Homo-oligomer: A and B are copies of this chain.
Amino acid sequence: MPTKLDSAQQTRAKLLAAATEVIRAQGTQHLTLDTVAKTAGISKGGLLHHFASKNALMQALLEQFLNRFQHFIDQYYQQEPLAPGRWLRAYIRATFADEPADLETGWLLLISLAEEPAFITQVQAIYRQFDALALQDGLPAARATIIRFAADAYWINSWLNGIPNETMRSALLDELLRLTHL
C-alpha cells in the first residue's frame, strides 16, 4: 500500500519531470516556479514544500542528470573487456547512447546552471574526475583527452543541430572507438 512518503517521492519526481519538460519545450528562460508548478499540475506552494527554493530544484535536476549519465558509463564499462581505452570506450558509448531528450535537457540544464557559481564548481568537479579517469586509461594523455573532448562536443552538437543521420552517427562512433586503439 502506498504510504505518504511514497506519494511524496512521486510528487518530487513529477516536479522534476515538469521542470525538465519546461526547459525542453520553452527554454531555460521560462523555468520559473510558477511555470514548473503549473506544468506539474501542482501549486507553487506545493512545489516550494518539496524544493525549498528554485536553487534546490535546479540542484536536484543537476544531480538527476549526472547520476543518469554516470549510470550509463558504469553500465557500458562492465560490458567492455579489460584493455587500454576501456573507460574511454564506455564514455563514448554512454555519450552516443543517451536519449536525445536527455541530451538536450542535460545541455540546457548545464546552460541554465552556468550562471550559478556553485553549480559550475560542481560540474568542474565531475569534469576533473572524468579527466583523471581518461588519463588513467592506458592511452597517451593527449589522445585520451582529445577523444573525450570529441565525445563531449558530439553531445553538444547533437543538441545544437540535432542528432546526425544514422550513417554519420555510426561513422563518428566507429572513428572515435578506433582512436581508442593503437
Partner-B contacts on A (CB < 8 A): 27-29, 108, 111, 114-117, 120, 123-124, 127-128, 131, 140-143, 145-154, 156-157, 160-161, 168, 171-172, 174-176, 179
Contacts and interface: CB of A to CB of B under 8 A. Distances in A.
Copies of this chain, tallied across the complex: 2
A120 B179 contact: no
B152 A120 contact: no
Among A117, A142, A171, which residue has the most Cβ atoms of chain B within 10 A?
A142
A114 B124 contact: no
Given A149-B149, A150-B150, A150-B153, A124 B168 contact: no
Contact of A141 (B117, B127, B171): B171
Given A28-B114, A141-B168, A161-B128, A150 B156 contact: no
A174 B28 CA distance: 38
A157 B146 contact: no
A175 B142 contact: yes
Contacts of A131: 161
A172 B157 contact: no
Contacts of A142: 168, 171-172, 174-175
Contacts of A174: 142
Contacts of A124: 160-161
A91 to B, nearest CB: 13
B175 A143 contact: yes
Among A114, A116, A152, which residue has the most Cβ atoms of chain B within 10 A?
A114
A149 B141 contact: no
Given A124-B160, A142-B168, A150-B150, 20 more contacts: A27-B114, A27-B117, A28-B114, A29-B115, A29-B116, A111-B114, A111-B115, A120-B160, A123-B160, A124-B161, A127-B157, A128-B161, A140-B175, A141-B171, A142-B175, A143-B175, A145-B168, A146-B172, A149-B149, A156-B156
